[in-house]
Structure 1
Amino acid sequence: MLEFLQASWGVLLASVFSVVDKNRPVTDIWRQLNTTIGGRLATSNPWPQPCFSSINGRPTHNDSSQCGTVCQNYFNQHIARSDVFAGYSATNFDMCMSNGDQCHLDFMNPSNPLAFSPPADCRQGSIPSYYIDVQGKDDVIAAFDFARKSGVPLVIKNTGHDFKGRSSGPGSLALWMHSMKYIHHAPEFVADGCPTSDAHNAVTFGAGQQFEEIFQHLDKLGLQMVGGSDQSVGAAGGWAQGGGHSSLTPTYGLGADRTLQYKVVTPDGVARIANACQNEDLFWALRGGGGGTFGVVLEATMMVSEVESYRVANINWPPTTPNLKQVLEIFLDNATNFALQGWGGYVTITTGNIILMTPRLNLKEAEEAMHALIELTTQLGGVSTVTEVPTFLSWFDNYVRGMAGAQALVGLPIAMASRLVPQKNHATSEGRAELLEALSSAFGLSVFSQIHFTSPYGFTGSDGSDTSVNPVWRTSLYQVIVVNSWLFDSTLEQRKEAYAQTTKSINYLRDITPDSGAYHNEADIHEPNYGHSFYNTNYVRLLEIKNKYDPDHILDCWQCVGWQGPSRPRYSCYI
C-alpha cells in the first residue's frame, strides 16, 4: 500500500485516466468534452504556482507580481480564496497528504521564501486536473456522460469550504459551481406542482451564491434568512444539503427545515425539480443527506422572514485553563435554558469568547439570562456586554470583521473532528461535571476549538421527519469542533500525529455520548461507524435513494452515503 501511495504522479494519473475504450487516446476524450461544452474545459493549476520556479519537477519562471498578490490573499482571506478555483479553505485537501506533494506557502508568513524558493517544487497535489466553469444544466449533463464513459472521477466544487476533501481529488474533473450567481425574491413562492395555498415568502438563488451576498441583498428588502457564519460559503451546497446549522437555528430551525425546492441534475443525466410535491424522495435526501452525493444542485429556494432586532451577548475572558473551567461550568449549567430562550452562536475556546444572539428576549431579560457569565468573566478581567443590534446583517458584519466573536481561519491545513452533545448529558449535576472534564480534556489537545450553539433543540416548528438530517441534531444542544494543524514543511509523521491528536481529543466526548453522532461536514476523516454517526436511522433509506438516482456511483465521496471505500485512486492522498 505504501509503495502505491508513493508512486510517481504520472503513474497515478495514468491509472485514473484509464477509459473504457483503451484504443482511444485520453486526449481525444478530453477534446470531445471540451467541444461539447463550448470550449470551456479548463486546466487547473495550484494558486501559489506563480511563486515557484519549479512546477511538477519542471523548471519555469516565477512571476513576482502575481506571487505578491497570492501572498496578500493567501491566509484567512475568505472571499479571495473562494474566488479561485484552486483555492481550498482547508489546504490539506489541495495537497496530497500521504506523500507530501503540495504547492503551499507558509501560512504563518506567506512571503516566507523558504516555502517556494529552490529546491521547492510546486506539485498538483489533490487539485483536480480539469474543471468546467458550470453555466447551466447542459454542462453538468455532459460531465456525467463523460465520467460514465471514461471512468474519470467527478467532484463538485463551489467555494472550497469543505473539511472532508470531497471537492478535490487527484486526476479528477471538477464541476465548479461558483459562477451560478443570481437571487430572486418571491413574496408568495409556490413550489412547482404544489397547491397554490402552500405559498411562502422565499428567495431563490443559484448554486454559486454566497452568504454575504445573500444577506446583503435580503437586508435591503427588509428580510433575513437562516444562514451560516462564514461570508464565503455557498448557501445551496454542502451547508444546506448537510442540514444547515446557524446562529438562528434555535429559533428558526436548520437550513434544511426551511428549504422549499431544489433544481438538480442527477447522475443519470436528468434535470429534475425536487420538492414536497415531486421527486419527494430526492428532496428528502437533499435536505440533510449531504452534498456531492445525490446530484448536482443548480438552484435552491428557501424561506425568508422579515428582519428583526437581536440581543447579543459578547462574553470575553483571558483564555487560561483555570478560567475556561469556570466559564464552562456556568455555561453548562445554563445551556438548556439558553437553547429554549433562542440563544444561538459560538463559543471560541481558543480566544476566550462567547458570542450568542436571540430575538426572543428583550434587553432586560437577556441581561438577566447572561448575568452569571458576565459577572464571572468581568471578575476574571474580561469585558462582557449584552447589547442590541437592529438586524441579523448588522451582527454578521461585526462577526466577520472580528468585532463580535471570531471566525475560524482559512488557508491552512485543518485536521478536524466534531461531536454533537445531547441535552441529556446536561440533565444532572453529575452529567454536567462529567461533561466539564471531557470538554476540558478535549480542548487541551487541540490548537483550535469551538462550541457551535446552533442546534434546533429550542426550535418548535418541525420535528425534522420531513428531512434526512441526523435526528441527533434535534436532541442535542450544540456541537463541539476540535482542530489540529501542521506547518508548510511538515513530514508525513507530523501530519499523522495531527490527525491522531484530533481523534484522541474528540474521543473524550465520544466516550460519554455513545448514542450521539457527528456533523458530517465538520467531522473526523477517520470517523468510526460513520454511517450511524452521520446519518443514524436515516442511512438505510438514504442508501436506497442513492442507488436509485446514481446506480453507477458516479458521485462518490469520502464517507458519503454509498461511499465505496478508500481503495480508489482518487482517495490515495488521504492519510
Structure 2
Amino acid sequence: MKRSSVHIMHLLSSLAYLTSTRIFAEATTSTDCKCQPSQSCWPDSHAWSRLNITTNGALLKTIPPGIVCYPGPAYDKIACEQFNELSSNEGWISSNPYYVMNPGWNGNPCPPTNGTEATPDSTCGPLLGEPVYVINATSANQIEAGVKFAKQYNIRLVIKNTGHEFLGRSSGAHSLSIWTHNMRETTFTDNFKPHNCPKAIAHSAVTVGAGMQWKDLVTAAHGHGKLVVSGGNPTVGCIGGYLQGGGHSPIGNKYGMAVDQVLEFNLVTPAGKYITANECENSDYFWALRGGGGSTFGVVTSATLRTYPTEEINMVVQMFNMTSNDTDVMWDFLGYVHSELPRITNAGMMGYSFIYNDESQKVGWAAAFITVGGSIENATKILQPLYDETATSKYKDHIIYSQDNYTFPNYLSYFLVFFPEATTTTNAVLPSRLLDEQALTVDPAYFSATLKKMWSPFVGAYLGHIIGGPGVAQYKDVDMALNPAWRRTVDHFIAASGWDTPVQREPVLNYAHNILEYNLRKLAPETGQYLNEALYGSDNWQANNWGTNYPRLFAFKNKVDPDGVLYCFNCVGSEQWVEGENGSLCRASWA
C-alpha cells in the first residue's frame, strides 16, 4: 500500500527526534566519591550564596517542573495541565533550565501525570538525575566560577544547553548544572583567522555562542546569504555535544561533518581557566574537542564555524512498497538497495531512509535524497537503476515504487520543511553502526538476511543516515579526535526501538543489546558507532566510539582533568567512575 510522500517526509524527519534511556550502575565502596547534599562536605547556604553573588545572581535552586501535579502546596491544576502538554515539546524542554528531553533514563522522579493530580502517596523532588542548583550562564566568567566551585567542593558538575541528549548526559544526581542556553551571541565575518595563528587561511565564518540552536543559526546564516553545515533537528544546540561528538549533517556528503567546519573554540577548562583553542593555540584541546565528545574536556562557550554561499537544494522522495505477501522478496530487495548506496553517495547524493511497517503491516522502504545544487533530472538518473530493478522478474509482481520531487531555492527553505520542531513521546533505544562500502556491498544476501533476522515488535524502524561518502572522506587526513571510521562511512544505521512504561524497559534493552547491537556489529566489525546515537551501556564503547583515537583521548583527559571535574556516562575517562543507584558517583576501585 502506497503512503503519501508528505506522510513519508514526516516519518523520515523523525530521524532527528529520538531520545534514549539510562541505567544506573552499582557504585563501589570507594571513599573517593562526589559530595552529596546529605553529607558534611556539602557547601552550606553561605557558600551557595557567595556563588550566587559571584555569578551576578545567576544561581537557580532546582524546582522540578512536574511538582505542580503532585499533592502539596505547589499543586496547581492549570499549571499541571500545561506541564503535561509542554513536557514532550522539544522547544519548551530546551528553554527550561531543569528539564531534559525524556527523563526516563534518570529515574524520572517527577513525571507528568496526564494533567491530573498525582495520587497522595506519590512524591516529587530533585532526586536521581536532577541537579540541585543550576547556573544560568550568560558569560564565561560565570562558567569559570561554577567550574571552580564544583572543583573546590568536589561536587558533580553537568552541562546542559538544550537537554536534547540521547544518553542522559545533560543531567546528573546531586549535581551543579551549568546551563548555557542563553549564551546566543552570533557574529558573521568574511575573513576569520584563528587567534595567534598567522599560518591559517582566512575563511568566511560565524562565531556562535554556546546556547545557539540550529533553527536560529540556519535562519541567521540565510540572512547573510550563507549556509552552515547544520544538524537535522531545529532544537539541537549547535556547538555542544552535537558538534563535539562529530555532528553528522544532512549536507555532509558535500561539506563534511559539522566538526570539520570548526576553526576555533573558546572554552573554560576543568581547572576553571578560560582559553582559546585552534590549530596554533592550545592545539591539544583543539584536537580533542573535534570529536572527543561534549562535557569532557571543558565547557565550550563559543565556536567559530566555516560558512558557505547558500545553494539550491533538490530533493527526491522515493517509496518502495509491497504488492504481495512475500516479505522475503522485500528483504532481498532491501539488500540490493543498500548495496547501491555507495554508488549513490559517490554521485553526490545524500539523505535519510526509513524501513517501516506500512498500514497493512507490510515492510516498506522510503528515502529522501538531496543534492546541493544539481538537478532533479540528474538525481532521477542516479536513482533509475533502483526503479529498473523492480521491473525484473524477481521483483515485478511484488514491489511498486513512486517518486516525488521537490526543489528548494536555498538551504533554509529545505531545513524548515524537512525538519519541523517535534515532540518526544518515548524513551528510545538506539543500537547503531557505521556502515562502510564493504559492509553494504560484499554480501547483499547476508545484509538482507541480517535485517530480516533483527526485525521484530521490539524494533520501531530502521533509520538510515546516508550522509557519509566523499564529502566526509575529504577530511580523512585531518588530525582530530573523531572516530576515523567516519571517513569511510556511507550510512549511519540505527535499529531504533523504545519503551513507554518501566515494565517495558528491560525486555527492550535486552533485545537491543543481545540481538540488534550484536548483529549490527557483525555487519561491520571493523568500523564503530556514532557516540551521540548509540546504545546505552554499549559493549566496548571506547573503541566503538573513537577507534584508535581512544588511548590518546584517555591520556589527555587524565592530564587536563585528573580530578574528574567533568564526568558523563560513556564519555572519555568515565570508566574510572561508577554511578550508584542512590545517585552516588565514586572512583572505580581500580582507578
TM-score w.r.t. the length of structure 1 is: 0.86
- Structure 1 residues 31 and 315 mapped into 2: Cα distance closer, same or farther (>3 Å)? same
Query: Unpaired runs of 5+ in structure 2?
Result: 1-22, 28-32, 358-364, 586-591
| C-alpha distance in 1 between matches for 2:24 and 2:177 | 27
Query: Which residue, 308, 325, 328 being the options, matches 2:331?
Result: 325
Give the secondary structure class of the aligned counterpart of 1:349: strand
2:267 is aligned, of 264, 268, 284, to: 264
TM-superposition CA deviations, 1:142-191 (whole Å, max 9, x none): 11211112111000111011111111111111100100012111111111
Give the aligned partner of residue 343 of structure 1.
349
User: Which SS does the other structure have where 1:299 is aligned?
Assistant: strand
CA RMSD of aligned residues (A): 2.9
- C-alpha distance in 2, partners of 1:461/1:360? 19
- Decide whether the 8 Å contact of 2:184 with 2:212 is kept in 1: yes
Alignment of 1:405-554 (within 5 A): 410-428=424-442, 431-444=443-456, 445-459=458-472, 461-488=474-501, 490-491=502-503, 494-503=504-513, 504-554=515-565
Separation in structure 2 between the aligned mates of residue 438 and residue 330 of structure 1, nearest angstrom: 13
Aligned-partner SS, 1:71: helix
Distance 1:23 1:186, change over 3 A: closer
> Aligned partners of 2:332 and 2:24: how far apart in 1?
50
Tell me, yes or no, if structure 1 residue 121 matches structure 2 residue 123. yes
Which of 70, 75, 78 is 1:52 aligned to?
A: 70
How far apart are residue 553 of structure 1 and its match? 1.6
Q: CA 1:462–1:161 in structure 2 vs 1: closer, same or farther (change >3 Å)? A: same
2:205 maps to 1:202: yes
Residues 456/281 of structure 1: CA separation in 2 closer, same or farther (3 Å cut): farther
Which residue type is aligned with residue 298 of structure 2?
Answer: G
The answer on whether the counterparts of 2:335 and 2:447 sit within 8 Å (CA) in structure 1 is: no
Which deviates more, 290-299 or 517-526? 517-526
**TM-score, length-scaled by structure 2:** 0.84
Give the superposition deviation at 1:334.
1.2
Find out whether 1:26 has 2:41 as its counterpart.
Answer: no
Could you say which residue in structure 2 is the equivalent of 1:303? 306
Q: Distance in 2 between matches of 1:154 and 1:308?
A: 42
In the aligned structure 2, how far is the partner of 1:424 from the partner of 1:385?
30
The 3-state SS of whatever aligns with 1:234 is coil
Residue identity opposite 1:416 in structure 2: L
Alpha-carbon distance in structure 1 between the residues aligned to 2:98 and 2:552: 35
Structure 1 residues 14, 359: CA separation in 2 closer, same or farther (over 3 Å shift)? closer
Amino acid aligned to 1:426: L
Q: Deviations over 1:26-84 (max 9, x none)?
A: 3333233223222321122333322222xxxxx33421222222222233x22122111
Amino acid at match of 2:412: L
The partner residue of 1:371 within 373, 384, 396 is 384
1:384 aligns with one of 388, 391, 403: 403
Aligned to 1:477, what secondary structure does the other structure show?
strand
Deviation at 1:570, TM superposition (A): 8.4
Are residues 537 and 200 of structure 1, via their aligned partners in 2, closer, same or farther at CA, if it must alter by over 3 Å? same
Residue deviations 1:114-135, cap 9 Å, x none? x834444334341212110111
Give the fraction of aligned pairs with identical amino acids, expressed as a percent.
Answer: 28
The yes-or-no answer on 1:133 pairing with 2:136 is yes
Of 304-313 and 44-53, deviating more is: 44-53
* 3-state secondary structure, aligned to 1:181: coil
**Contact conserved, 1:169 with 1:571, CA < 8 A, in 2?**
no
Output the CA distance in 1 between the equivalents of 2:244 and 2:70: 38
Note closer, same or farther for the CA distance 1:67–1:434 as it changes in structure 2 (3 Å cut).
same
Q: State the match for 1:80 in structure 2.
A: 92
State the one-letter code of the partner of 2:36. Answer: V
Instruction: Name the SS for the 1:483 alignment partner.
Output: strand
CA contact (8 A) 1:484 1:501 kept: no
User: Following TM superposition, where does structure 1 have runs of at least 4 consecutive aligned residues deviating by more than 6 angstroms?
Assistant: 2-6
> How far apart, in 1, do the equivalents of 2:583 and 2:43 lie?
24
The corresponding residue for 1:393 is 412
**Which range moves more in the overlay, 343-352 or 543-552?**
343-352
**Which residue pairs with 1:231 in the alignment?**
234
Q: What is the deviation of 1:242?
A: 0.5
Task: Please report how far the alpha carbon of residue 477 of structure 1 lies from its aligned counterpart in structure 2 after TM superposition.
Answer: 1.0
Report the CA distance between 1:505 and its aligned residue: 1.4
Q: Which amino acid aligns with 2:182?
A: S
Offset of residue 438 of structure 1: 1.7
The correspondence for 1:104, drawn from 93, 104, 111, is 111
Deviations 1:409-434 (A, max 9, x none): 52532222211112112333xx2221
* 2:57 counterpart (39, 45, 51): 39
Aligned pair partner of 2:293 in 290, 295, 298: 290
Q: Is the 8 A contact 2:287 2:479 kept in 1?
A: yes
Q: Distance in 2 between the 1:368 and 1:195 partners?
A: 46
Q: Residue 91 of structure 1 contacts residue 412 of structure 1 at CA under 8 Å; is this kept in 2?
A: no
Return 315-324 or 171-180, whichever deviates more. Answer: 315-324
Instruction: Quote the Cα distance in structure 2 between the aligned partners of 1:244 and 1:394.
Output: 21
Alpha-carbon distance in structure 2 between the residues aligned to 1:175 and 1:18: 22
SS in 1 for 2:526: coil
- State how far apart, in whole Å, the 2-side matches of 1:346 and 1:472 are: 19
- 1:326-365 Cα shifts (integer Å, max 9, x gaps): 6523421311012212222211223753112112643211
2:18 matched to which residue of 1? none
1:435-482 CA deviation, whole Å, 9 max, x = no partner? 222233334341243111122444453215322110011112111123
The one-letter code sitting in structure 2 at the alignment partner of 1:497 is P
**Which amino acid in structure 1 is aligned with residue 118 of structure 2?**
F
Question: Aligned in 2, Cα 1:443/1:73: closer, same or farther, shift over 3 Å?
Answer: farther
CA deviation string 1:514-562 (max 9, x = no partner): 2221111111121111111111111111122212221212111111111
Instruction: Measure the CA separation in 1 of the matches of 2:567 and 2:109.
Output: 23
Residues 255-277 of structure 1: CA deviation (Å, up to 9, x unaligned): 11111000001011111100111
Secondary structure at the residue paired with 2:356? coil
Q: Distance in 2 between matches of 1:128 and 1:145?
A: 17
Residue type matched to 2:56 in 1? G
Q: Distance in 2 between matches of 1:18 and 1:401?
A: 44
Point out the more displaced range, 550-559 or 226-235.
550-559
Alpha-carbon shift at residue 315 of structure 1 (Å): 1.9
Segment of structure 1 superposing worse, 322-331 or 451-460: 322-331
The 1-side partners of 2:111 and 2:525 are apart by 38
1:315 partner SS:
strand
Residue in structure 2 matched with residue 9 of structure 1 by the alignment: none
Q: 1 CA distance for matches of 2:41 and 2:86?
A: 45
Structure 1: gaps spanning 5 or more residues = 7-12, 54-58
Distance 1:44 1:457, change over 3 A: farther
State the alpha-carbon separation in 1 of the partners of residues 198 and 123 from structure 2: 60
Compute the displacement of 1:367 (Å): 0.7
Q: Return the alpha-carbon distance in structure 1 between the equivalents of residues 42 and 196 of structure 2.
A: 45
